[in-house]
Chains A and B, each alone.
Chain A
Amino acid sequence: MAPSAPQPVLLTATDLWKSFQMGDQKVQVLRGVNLRVLRGQWLAILGASGSGKSTLLHLLGGLDTPSAGTIRFDSQELAALRGGRLDRYRNRHIGFVFQFYHLLPELNVLENVLISTMIGRPAWGWPAARSEARRQATALLDRLGLSHRLHHKPAKLSGGERQRVAIARALINQPDVLLADEPTGNLDEGTGQQILEVIRDFHRSGQTVVMVTHDRAIASAADARLTLHAGQLESSLEDSSAKPQDASNR
């Protein structure tokens, strides 16, 4: 098999530090993290609870700001994005999947997926885009095996179904990166494997995925694995930017 062309770097974290103030104590969560995520890569970040995995994911997704260090998306430094531009970054380029799904209980499955698209468009532009957005959402939910659940509220769904809706919501805007925070952490093993299959399916279609987990078995599904320990990534920067086809060998 001929070696494939090197993939462009999508996300770069350089010397990333993050601390939190807990009362009068300062808790250092990340201590100089360096990371590169290639386009099309599935990267798993392993770490015990409290190791800072979610914090790293929030920083990469523009939900939080580092105490020190820089994050670049393509060539754009996130720290330079302010207000609306950072919101647009999260809406267009990032898709979040959470351990506890975090679906909005008042909305049905279709609306939970469509809300990402709605957020990205002004109210006056929505009527024109509505039917196309619905078509895409329906197709996505169909691909995830949820076409019979479109008008059901999250409370009526199983854990696996909820997580699939959350994945659909994260992917509806065709983001550059899917950031998955313990996506199987709240599911039984069988259902967890189904969710991994879903992620694998999208990854095969070219979706870049950064997944944090504490479970080595789950992490083994990824192309590349890094371990976050005591606020530092144990693998080197070069390791973390391994080509997707090399990841399975690690």
Chain B
Amino acid sequence: MYKLLLILRYLRRKLAPMFAVLAVTLCTAMLIIVISVMGGFLQMMRDAAQKLTGEVMVGADLSGFPYYQELIDELQRLPQVHAATALVRSYGLVNLNNRVLTVEVHGVDAAGLDAVTGYGGTLHWTSRDLLELLEAQLPPAEELTPGEKERVEARRRFYEQLDLRRLGMTFTPPPEWSDRPDTPGIVLGIEVSPWSVRDSQGQYSALNSSLGMQVTMTVLPLTRRGTFLEPAVRRMAVVNEFKSGLYDIDAHRVYVSFELLQKMLRMDAAEQVDPETGKPTGKVDPARATEVLVRGVPGVPLEELRRQVSSVTQQFAGDHLDCPPLWVQTWLERHAMLLGAVEREKLLLTFLFAIISVVAVVMIAVIFYMIVLEKTRDIGVLRALGASRFGIESIFLGYGLAIGVIGAGLGVGIAAVVVSHINEIQDFLTEHYHFTMWDPKIYYFDRIPTRFSPMEVSVIAAAAVLSGLLGSLLPAYLAGRLNPVEALRYE
């Protein structure tokens, strides 16, 4: 009981242990904040990556595979599958205002893709953005001539009727945005355009958007055997832009309609031609797709879904021996490089900060050693009163444990407050000191993402408690080994 009494009194009285508590608190808070922000960043990327691709993909190389609709039908019969859709993927060039850009072109059935990935939700612009831009750019009404007013009104009506989400889903531009009636629509990643810039809040302006721009897209068709054919070129109008949340995707991907890309890449169904005579053979080459994306029913584990999809795919490949080899991938495998890099960064940062946190252990050891020196005579008195060596050791170990517990508790508390208000803190620093920790112009998110994981926080808190105990271990041992007579004579 005397140990508890002395621990409580030492905690209340001494300034030095408060520094030890502070060291544990700061190290705990620092580690939790770092791990929460990195975890939030990773979670954001994982969410974005999962949204982009569905959960499981079946695919072949860029020359594609036939009978994909059969595969989709088979997959959709699985009770574990919520939706599946075909995709044609290729690479191409986009000429945007004489700027030629390399892009990954996805030909998609927008409704099908939306069911699998939530594609519709990534379409960035709405007519409200254009209306707001129009209002912002207008001079005062009294300065407008009647003709200008009429034109502005016409533009306003046009914008009001414009359903940019529908345009992005149908790839059909309004007549005002196309120079030919059959001009197809294209949806660009929001970072594809070189003129796309983020402001200090990380927001895009419709002023710099590519909406309504005419672009020329060039793709290189492949035969089933992988032979290059003449490039296919098509002029298109930008009907919307999408923002997935992954910079690499948003900077290099464009969406067009499935049928259009299939046709441009000559992957649509076509009658075979005899290469020698050049005459139709009467046989039809089936249409091809490069991938089928699958979304599972909520609650179905990813591995279970993958197992079922693999099984159906094997059956499908067995039924169609002319089908090229097919692979099955989960979204985690597809984005393993990207997510793995962030995961490694998170681990590395955690490791580095954990190394820094060793300082706390050393600091506790030094502070405790000083306390032992200061309390040498008291230790002698306690031994004279009958306290055992272990009793003396227990006082300092308990003291270290208490410092660890208090430091960890305060650290978790501070970290919880900082993590939950990190954006408000950033806003305050930006507003009052013009200091921005995470500049949305540089980082690809406008709000700092955080993820407060109870498991990670528990591990860090336990490590903090342990650090208090570890720091006090040697001083406690030395205190217990003190010769009581020498301790009583200590000046």
Contacts and interface: CB of A to CB of B under 8 A. Distances in A.
B485 interface: yes
Interface in B385-422: 385-389, 391
B5 A115 contact: yes
B384 A61 contact: yes
A66 B107 CA distance: 95
B6 A106 contact: yes
Given A87-B383, A121-B1, 12 more contacts: A64-B484, A83-B388, A96-B385, A102-B381, A107-B5, A107-B9, A111-B5, A115-B382, A115-B385, A118-B1, A119-B387, A123-B1
Contacts of A96: 384-385
A63 interface: yes
16 contacts: A58-B485, A58-B488, A61-B384, A63-B488, A64-B483, A87-B391, A90-B386, A102-B384, A104-B378, A106-B12, A107-B9, A115-B385, A119-B2, A119-B385, A119-B387, A123-B4
A121 to B, nearest CB: 7
Interface in A114-140: 115-116, 118-121, 123, 126
Contact of B387 (A83, A87, A105): A87
B4 A87 contact: no
B432 interface: no
Nearest to B2: A118
Contacts of B12: 106
B5 A116 contact: no
A64 B486 CA distance: 10
Interface in B164-214: none
A149 interface: no
Interface residues of chain B: helix, strand, loop or mixed (majority): helix
Contact of B386 (A88, A104, A105, A111): A88
A115 B386 CA distance: 10
A116 B385 CA distance: 6
Interface residues of A, number: 30
A96 B377 CA distance: 14
Given A102-B381, A104-B381, A87 B1 contact: no
Nearest to A61: B384
A170 to B, nearest CB: 8
B376 to A, nearest CB: 11
A162 interface: no
A90 B385 contact: yes
Contacts of B386: 87-92, 116, 119-120
A98 interface: yes
Interface string A44-76: 000000000001001001011000000000000
Interface string B335-375: 00000000000000000000000000000000000000000
Contacts of A116: 385-386
Contacts of A243: none
Nearest to B8: A106
A102 B377 CA distance: 8
Contacts of B488: 58, 63, 98, 102
Interface residues of B, number: 27
A84 interface: yes
B434 interface: no
B19 interface: no
Interface of B: 1-6, 9-10, 12-13, 377-378, 380-389, 391, 483-485, 488
A169 interface: yes
Nearest to A122: B1
B384 A90 contact: yes
Contacts of B3: 123
A162 B2 CA distance: 20
A118 B380 CA distance: 16
A58 B9 CA distance: 28
Given A63-B383, A91-B385, A115 B2 contact: yes
Closest 10 CB pairs of A and B: A91-B386, A106-B9, A118-B2, A126-B1, A90-B386, A102-B381, A118-B1, A87-B388, A96-B384, A123-B1
A13 B5 CA distance: 37
Interface in A147-163: none
A30 to B, nearest CB: 13
A84 B380 CA distance: 16
A167 to B, nearest CB: 13
Contacts of A88: 386
A74 B22 CA distance: 53
A87 B391 CA distance: 10
A50 to B, nearest CB: 12
A169 B5 contact: no
A116 B488 CA distance: 17
Central interface residue in B13, B380, B388, by most chain A CB within 10 Å: B388
A25 B436 CA distance: 68
B384 A63 contact: yes
Nearest to A115: B2
A223 B378 CA distance: 32
Contact of A169 (B1, B385, B388): B385
Nearest to B391: A119
B10 A106 contact: yes
B16 to A, nearest CB: 13
B377 A64 contact: no
B5 A63 contact: no
Given A91-B385, A107-B9, A63 B484 contact: yes
B383 to A, nearest CB: 7
A227 to B, nearest CB: 22
Given A63-B485, A64-B485, A98-B488, A119 B382 contact: yes
A91 B385 CA distance: 5
A47 to B, nearest CB: 17
A107 to B, nearest CB: 6
Q: Which of B1, B6, B12, B13 gathers most chain A CB within 10 Å?
A: B1
A92 B383 CA distance: 13
A132 to B, nearest CB: 14
A72 B13 CA distance: 41
B13 A84 contact: no
Nearest to A98: B488
A83 B480 CA distance: 12
Nearest to B387: A119
A71 B363 CA distance: 44
B396 to A, nearest CB: 14
A81 to B, nearest CB: 12
- Greatest chain B CB density within 10 A among A55, A91, A115 is at A115
A156 B79 CA distance: 81
Given A63-B484, A63-B485, A104-B378, A118 B384 contact: no
